[in-house]
Structure 1
Amino acid sequence: MQAEFKVFHSSQSFALEMGGELPSIQLAYETLGKLNAQKDNVVWVCHAFTGSYEVSDWWQGLVGLGKLFNPENHFIICCNILGSHYGSTGPLSVNPLTGEPYYHSFPHVTIRDVIQSFELLRKDLGINKIKTCIGGSLGGQQALEWAIMQPDLIENLILIATNAVHSPWGIAFNESQRMSIEVDPTWKESQPRAGIEGMKAARATALISYRNYETYQVTQARQENTTGEALRAISYQRYQGEKLAARFNAYSYYVLSNMMDSQDVGRNRGGVVRALKSIKARTLVIGIKSDALFPIVEQEYLAKHIPGASFQVIDSLYGHDGFLIESGLMTKAIRLWQKLLRLEVNPMADFFRELESKQIFYAS
């Protein structure tokens, strides 16, 4: 079943949480499957940091024919977020007020701004209920914010390797990456490739937080009698920087890292716990045991304070990136959760904890 690429346009000014506005916005998105007559088969996937609307490409283990989210049964939507590189309004877009690309003048956009833009698209599509909203990392931050902002909209909420408040640890990683971009001598220029060398270094820094010590020990193990640039870890870091530079831009990278730092669901809501307790969606929280960037304690916190939430752990070699790689384990965890919901079994009951203690979801 072919995916359909579409672009939503809004000619009205779009007010931003931190002040200022965008004169107009557009959102690039992709749909798979068909909206049924009851309009109750919507699966909205929120993409992560440098992801795109092409969810069947970057999450092909979960989305596609015969997969957990099957376009034969579901109407699947993935929308490129504001500030990103893949067709939605961002730093390389032309500012209609000046006729020139935004570049450095692109304003600060928060997670809440992203959800406000999703709301415009949702209403334009005539969708009044989302069957399942799912996201990992920055995508999980979006899904969580949406469930708080519109408590009656989402029926099932799946949060993977994400948090309610971005930690000082995570912010420090992001600031280190922004500093790498800032020292690139081209960063002050107004041209599409500005800061690209700095972004390569930023990506290499990010990758360390996406993986962990054990990941590198296995996947980039030293070979006997090698040194210098022949060391696998060195060539790997450089390869990853070049790979991102071929498909992304430093302006969006900078904007989205600041967006991630904005995550605080308790802001102007009376605190984080109060915000989480307002969620009405049936919620599954999935953490990755080896995640160094969004450690498991952050998902435990979500599950503790979201009413009736289930919490599951996936043991992966790949750290934070496990949410993109371990599709099989995530599918098993989500399918069991869905089964327990159908049986009206409390996912946090002793039965469910017993299954977890037997390491149903753990890979060796």
Structure 2
Amino acid sequence: MALRTLSDLPDSQFDGKRVLVRVDFNVSVNNGAVGEDYRIRMSIPTIEYLTKRGAKVILASHLGRPEGRDRQYSLAPVAKRLSDIVGGKSRPAIRFADDCVGVEVEDEISKMNKGDVLLLENLRFHKEEELNDPEFSKRLASLADIYVNDAFSTSHRKHSSTYGAAWLFDIRLAGFNLSKEVEYLSMIRENPIKPFKIVVGGVKIKDKIGALEHLLPKADKVMIGGAAAYTFLKAEGIKTGNSLIDEERLPWVTKALSTYGDKIMLPTDHVCANSPNDNSVTMVRGDIPNGMSGFDIGNETIERYSAEVGGNGGGTIFWNGPMGMFEIRAFSNGTINIAKSMALAFWRGSKTLIGGGDTLEAMKKSGVAENEVSHVSTGGGATLRYLAGDEMPGVVILNGH
């Protein structure tokens, strides 16, 4: 899908114009401090492109799921982190507005000079945002002359900031982050460079079924880990002890195994314990004993998966979801090894894509840098929806539909 991006317009069109940029600053904030800031950093190319061309940049984002104006969900700490990242004597500070619509916000915008950046307060402080309320959409749209969506991760939702307000602009553009997401994920969805390998982990199979249905016919190998693997193993008749099973999805898994069994790789050994906090951890091959649960893939499986991922280079590898409960050291080995194998594959010439917040966190924990993978998707749920072939209202609207 070819989207109209910022660079498709002449520079002069941004000069002195108010540009509303929907960004995704939905990051973790604890005690007023921002945790992982990857999503903030991914917006910098779009912000700086606009400020260098004399635009007045108005940033809009949500944070969490507040009930009304809950100050713990304020974007003020994000404004500070953004200032730290782009700060410098020659650059303007990031200003912060106490709301996202209304007279005070309009007043703040009227004082902006060319190249200034203003971050609006959390869009979800107004329930109208998620309702795609026409009146709220109008108020948002009235703040600017040009609309830019750079938040792929919220583009599967028909909210005011991604859809309703966007409709009301004559000029609607994709930011650099969003267009890169669409370019990479379209390649995986439509025409992945072969051999195409997928690593799937995490807990919930139900979120991944749509994407797997779309990708299984195209994939050469699919490696299953995490809690997702136990539903597959149960469908194969292997005893899974007390491991997490998605009973509802068993029929789908059974069908997938009968159709694509030759492509699907499953764990042959597991790191097991009675509970996640149990100090005595056992490596189990084959059936998992009653009373025990699997919390990570075992050494033999790590070896098989790592050889498949890190292999000979070339092709495409997509990884979504950790291989075990990696937050606990005893169950982090599988995930760490997959992350390192992904980096090895990248250096050997494979296109490597990582999707989902957990997977990014796992990669960081493994000591793999962001520049050791081809692309890290900030999408999470949106990534899986896009790969499943679902329509993305926030992307479609940029092409005027």
Q: What TM-score comes out, normalization by structure 1 length?
A: 0.29
Normalised TM-score (structure 2): 0.27
Larger Rg computed on CA atoms: 2
